């Protein structure tokens, strides 16, 4: 059975949850949570690393003990520690932790005093007024629980793109190997590179008699088959991710791909144009009366309504159809256009690899420069650099560069923007660097006026180059800061500085709509990995996806510039 990184992460999360309910040592709990994050965000499967003989303890937050647990999970699909913990408390109990307001202590009390094990039992206990009597709960808490359970039930879970990709890649490879299967294509929001996906939509072509449906529903990771017919089936994987599969004929492949790529709003807009032309568009083709006039490939479908092919990332009915009609479609940036990366960490702070290891990994991806931008001292949890340690790193980079072939390290810093808009390091220290990346890492809840003013003031510093993860949002975990992004972008324009599109799967920040705004205002965007280990450069592809959703072209992206041209642009601020 293929064990995905996301599955290992889920097991570690569950261990942490259970330890927390047991009241275990907080450091031990945090170690499992950190390990879960590391695994969840790791672009390469842990299994592949193991097979290549890589040392797992090189991963952030993974020591000998956790490495051993990863090996155990990958080999056996289970973890003996978790099995033991599950004997102490039934499996569903951890689900209760998902309810806002219920921490481990309360979950423990609900289980021991009321035998509440599931969300449903929790709902009934609250509705029947049995919870208010528990010590430390009360009537108000009971009401809050009731409301929280109702809100929880109406929430549909979405998967981060990078997490969905782990399941999608494995499943696509599995389907591709089924006898008689021709093409296998991921459609839906996954193909449009949305930052999260609700479910996977897979299209396959298959020869008559191909067992693709039987194999699909019998896939090892399927937890539940929702429906299964001769041309369509839906399943839920053990991870909770739903997958819809369609078998389509070669003649309607393009029409089906258009239809199931969506978005729904885009499809509706296309159908409206078709109607005006007296045509009917559906997932089987484009028809004039009974005659099929297009549908074998996507280009023929668009052509039949008088449009050029539109890249999937643009298909949101946000102006792409008008742009296509007027011949104004952007020529979107591609991964191969990237010449460098302007945001990365090493083990000098909270990263995991050395300068040389990071440089070689970036070079292996085809990059010609990499900026090292450690945290500054204010970020104590990351062991941020003070002026002395920064100076030492600069010396080290100067020594290392002549030894490196085909890649150049740039000297930078990810300096904290303090609450009043000042920077965490003095101007003369920043002046020695090739670039200064400024970042908000604290006080996320300032008022719109204060938060915006703070960032504008930071940009006024003579050496400020690039605003890191401009909205500060973490997908599913933290809302974007309340800022006036248009003002920030215009200020960047005035000051000659740039905005980052942070490609970390949890961030994907700049948001796509703000990419468009930056493009319109003429501010360049830098697609950066924010790599904390040599594996993380692989995340750049999700950053490119987000940039494409934001209509960015090669010339709109700072780090598509060759090094010499980049240096000229950086000079304006240094």
Query: Do 254 and 297 form a contact (C-beta atoms < 8 A)?
Result: yes
What are the angstrom distances between the C-alpha of 65 and each of 8, 44, 57, 62?
14, 21, 9, 8
Give the CB-nearest residue to ligand DGT: 262
Nearer to ligand DGT, 201 or 424 (CB): 201
Query: Do 50 and 130 form a contact (C-beta atoms < 8 A)?
Result: no
Shortest spacing between CB 312 and ligand DGT, in angstroms: 10
**Residue 268 interacting entry, from Ca ion, ligand DGT, none, C-beta within 5 to 8 Å by type:** ligand DGT
Q: Any idea which residue has 């011949």 for tokens?
A: 327
DSSP bridge partners of 341? 370
Query: Do 33 and 11 form a contact (C-beta atoms < 8 A)?
Result: no
Nearer to ligand DGT, 281 or 359 (CB): 281
Nearer to Ca ion, 17 or 244 (CB): 244
Nearer to ligand DGT, 234 or 516 (CB): 234
Nearer to ligand DGT, 189 or 573 (CB): 189
Shortest spacing between CB 198 and ligand DGT, in angstroms: 3
Cα–Cα nearest to 349, from 308, 302, 301, 390: 390
Nearer to Ca ion, 257 or 437 (CB): 257
**Residue 509 interacting entry, from Ca ion, ligand DGT, none, C-beta within 5 to 8 Å by type:** none
3-state helix/strand/coil string of 500-557: EEECCCCCCECCHHHHHHHHHHCCCEEEECCECCHHHHHHHHHHHHHHHHCCCEHHHE
3-state secondary structure of 15: helix
Kindly give, in sequence order, each residue whose CB lies less than 8 Å from that of residue 273, ignoring residues fewer than 6 positions away: 305, 306, 307, 321
Shortest spacing between CB 434 and ligand DGT, in angstroms: 40
Maximum CA extent, the chain: 77
- 188 near Ca ion, rule: CB under 5 A: yes
DSSP code of 16?
A: H
**Does residue 541 have a cis peptide bond before it, meaning omega lies within 30 degrees of 0?**
no
- 199 near Ca ion, rule: CB under 5 A: yes
DSSP states along 106-152: HHHHHHHHH---SHHHHHHHHHTT-STTSTTTHHHHHHHHHHHHHHH
**Residue 267 interacting entry, from Ca ion, ligand DGT, none, C-beta within 5 to 8 Å by type:** ligand DGT
Shortest spacing between CB 221 and ligand DGT, in angstroms: 18
Kindly give, in sequence order, each residue whose CB lies less than 8 Å from that of residue 138, ignoring residues fewer than 6 positions away: 132
Query: Do 42 and 58 form a contact (C-beta atoms < 8 A)?
Result: no
Shortest spacing between CB 261 and ligand DGT, in angstroms: 6
Nearer to Ca ion, 199 or 374 (CB): 199
**Residue 295 interacting entry, from ligand DGT, Ca ion, none, C-beta within 5 to 8 Å by type:** none
**Residue 262 interacting entry, from Ca ion, ligand DGT, none, C-beta within 5 to 8 Å by type:** ligand DGT
Shortest spacing between CB 194 and Ca ion, in angstroms: 9
HSE, side-chain direction, 13 A CA sphere, residue 557: 32
Shortest spacing between CB 273 and ligand DGT, in angstroms: 13
**Residue 470 interacting entry, from Ca ion, ligand DGT, none, C-beta within 5 to 8 Å by type:** none
- 195 near Ca ion, rule: CB under 5 A: no
Query: Interacting stretch for Ca ion, rule CB under 5 A, among 44-52, 197-205, 346-354, 469-477?
Result: 197-205
Binding letters toward Ca ion, positions 228-267, x by CB under 5 A: ----------------x-----------------------
Query: Do 111 and 93 form a contact (C-beta atoms < 8 A)?
Result: yes
Shortest spacing between CB 195 and ligand DGT, in angstroms: 10
Query: Interacting stretch for Ca ion, rule CB under 5 A, among 185-193, 476-484, 535-543, 552-560?
Result: 185-193
Nearer to ligand DGT, 49 or 256 (CB): 256
DSSP code of 9?
A: H
Shortest spacing between CB 189 and ligand DGT, in angstroms: 3
DSSP code of 25?
A: -
Q: Which residues bind ligand DGT (CB under 6 A)?
A: 188-189, 194, 197-199, 201, 259-260, 262-264, 267-268
Phi, psi angle pair for 25, to nearest 5°: -55, 125
**Residue 195 interacting entry, from Ca ion, ligand DGT, none, C-beta within 5 to 8 Å by type:** none
Residue 538 tokens read as 């692989």
CA distance linking residue 308 with residue 287, whole number of Å? 18
Shortest spacing between CB 321 and Ca ion, in angstroms: 21
3-state helix/strand/coil string of 406-454: CCEEEEEEEEEECCCCCECCCHHHHCCCCEEEEECCCCCCCCHHHHHHH
**Residue 185 interacting entry, from Ca ion, ligand DGT, none, C-beta within 5 to 8 Å by type:** none
Give the CB-nearest residue to Ca ion: 188
By the 10 Å C-beta count (0-12 exposed, 13-18 middle, 19+ buried), 562 is classed as: exposed
Phi, psi angle pair for 186, to nearest 5°: -80, 125
Nearer to ligand DGT, 194 or 339 (CB): 194
Shortest spacing between CB 281 and ligand DGT, in angstroms: 9
CA distance linking residue 523 with residue 526, whole number of Å? 10
Q: Any idea which residue has 């796509």 for tokens?
A: 512
Nearer to ligand DGT, 201 or 536 (CB): 201
Choice from 13, 20, 201, 316 touching Ca ion (CB under 5 A): 201
Nearer to ligand DGT, 99 or 310 (CB): 310
Shortest spacing between CB 242 and Ca ion, in angstroms: 7
Nearer to Ca ion, 235 or 409 (CB): 235
Give me the residues that bind Ca ion (CB under 5 A), please.
188-189, 199, 201, 244
């Amino acid at each position: 059975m293929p064990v995905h990184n996301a599955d290992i992460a889920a097991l570690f999360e569950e261990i942490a949850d259970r330890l927390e309910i047991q009241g275990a040592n907080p450091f031990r709990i945090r170690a499992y949570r950190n390990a879960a994050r590391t695994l969840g965000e790791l672009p390469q499967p842990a299994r592949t690393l193991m097979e290549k003989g890589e040392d797992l303890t090189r991963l952030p937050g993974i020591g000998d003990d956790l490495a051993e647990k990863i090996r155990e999970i990958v080999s056996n699909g289970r973890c003996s520690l978790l099995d033991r913990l599950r004997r102490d408390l039934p499996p569903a109990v951890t689900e209760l932790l998902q309810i806002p307001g219920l921490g481990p202590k309360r979950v423990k009390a609900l289980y021991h005093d009321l035998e509440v094990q599931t969300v449903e039992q929790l709902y009934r206990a609250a509705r029947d007024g049995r919870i208010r009597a528990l010590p430390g709960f009360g009537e108000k808490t009971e009401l809050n629980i009731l409301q929280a359970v109702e809100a929880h039930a109406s929430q549909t879970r979405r998967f981060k793109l990078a997490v969905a990709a782990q399941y999608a890649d494995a499943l696509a490879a599995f389907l591709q190997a089924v006898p008689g299967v021709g093409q296998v294509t991921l459609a839906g929001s996954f193909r449009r590179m949305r930052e999260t996906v609700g479910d996977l939509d897979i299209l396959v072509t298959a020869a008559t008699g191909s067992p693709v449906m039987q194999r699909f529903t019998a896939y090892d990771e399927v937890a539940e088959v929702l429906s299964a017919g001769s041309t369509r089936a839906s399943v839920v994987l053990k991870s909770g991710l739903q997958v819809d599969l369609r078998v389509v004929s070669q003649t309607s492949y393009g029409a089906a791909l258009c239809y199931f790529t969506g978005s729904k709003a885009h499809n509706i807009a296309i159908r409206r144009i078709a109607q005006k032309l007296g045509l009917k568009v559906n997932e089987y083709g484009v028809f004039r009366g009974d005659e099929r006039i297009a549908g074998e490939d996507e280009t023929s479908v668009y052509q039949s309504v008088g449009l050029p092919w539109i890249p999937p990332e643009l298909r949101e009915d946000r102006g792409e159809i008008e742009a296509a009609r007027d011949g104004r479609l952007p020529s979107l940036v591609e991964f191969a256009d990237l010449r460098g990366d302007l945001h990365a960490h090493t083990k000098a702070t909270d990263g995991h690899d050395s300068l040389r290891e990071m440089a070689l990994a970036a070079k292996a991806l085809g990059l010609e420069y990499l900026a090292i931008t450690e945290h500054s001292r204010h970020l104590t949890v990351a062991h941020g650099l003070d002026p002395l340690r920064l100076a030492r790193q600069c010396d080290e980079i100067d020594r290392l560069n002549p030894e490196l072939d085909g890649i150049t390290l740039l000297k930078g810093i990810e300096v904290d923007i303090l609450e009043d808009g000042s920077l965490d390091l003095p101007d003369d220290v920043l002046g020695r660097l090739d670039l200064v990346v400024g970042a908000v890492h604290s006080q996320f809840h300032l008022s719109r006026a204060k938060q915006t003013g703070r960032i504008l003031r930071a940009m006024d510093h003579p050496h400020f180059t690039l605003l890191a993860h401009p909205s500060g949002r973490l997908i599913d975990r933290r809302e974007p800061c309340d800022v006036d992004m248009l003002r920030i972008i215009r200020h960047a324009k005035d000051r000659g500085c740039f905005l980052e599109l942070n490609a970390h799967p949890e961030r994907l920040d700049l948001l796509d709509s703000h990419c468009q705004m930056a493009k319109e205002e003429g501010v360049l965007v830098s697609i950066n990995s924010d790599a904390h280990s040599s594996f993380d450069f692989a995340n750049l592809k999700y950053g490119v996806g987000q940039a494409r959703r934001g209509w960015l072209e090669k010339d709109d992206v700072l780090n598509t510039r060759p090094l010499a041209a980049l240096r000229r642009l950086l000079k304006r601020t240094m």
